[in-house]
C-alpha cells in the first residue's frame, strides 16, 4: 500500500531529474510503500525519456505528468488542480 507520494517538479532539467530519480529509487524503503510523481511544466521529450529509462531500471512506481504548455509559476487561485494524463 502506498504511504508516501514524492512529487518532483521539473522543467528541462534531465540531468538533475535523472540524479533525483536515481536517489529516490535507491531508497531502502519497500517500493510498494511509495510512488514518485514527476510533474513537468510543459511537455519535454528529455524529461519523458529520463522517466522511461528509470521505469526500465526500477520496480518503483513512477508516473510522468505534464502541463500542455509551460505555465511557470501559477497563483494557487488560478490552478484547478488537474493535469492531463501522460501519453
SS3 category, 71: coil
User: How many whole angstroms separate alpha carbon 48 and alpha carbon 4?
Assistant: 22
Sign of the C-alpha dihedral computed for residues 72, 3, 86 and 11 taken in this order: positive
H runs (alpha helix) in 1-87: 14-25, 45-57
Q: What is the pLDDT of residues 47-79, one digit of tens each?
A: 999 999 999 998 899 999 988 766 666 545 555
| Domains recognised in the chain with CATH numbers | 4-66 (3.30.370)
Q: What is the pLDDT of residues 12-54, one digit of tens each?
A: 899 999 999 999 999 999 999 999 999 998 888 999 999 999 9
Provide the Cα torsion 16, 17, 19, 20; round to 10°.
120
Amino acid at each position: 500500500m502506498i504511504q508516501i507520494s514524492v512529487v518532483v517538479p521539473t522543467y528541462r532539467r534531465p540531468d538533475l531529474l535523472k540524479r533525483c530519480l536515481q536517489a529516490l529509487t535507491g531508497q531502502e524503503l519497500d517500493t510498494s510503500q511509495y510512488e514518485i510523481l514527476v510533474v513537468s511544466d510543459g511537455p519535454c521529450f528529455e524529461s519523458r525519456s529520463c522517466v522511461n529509462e528509470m521505469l526500465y531500471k526500477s520496480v518503483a512506481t513512477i508516473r510522468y505528468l505534464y502541463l500542455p504548455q509551460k505555465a511557470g509559476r501559477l497563483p494557487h487561485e488560478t490552478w484547478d488542480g488537474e493535469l492531463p494524463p501522460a501519453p
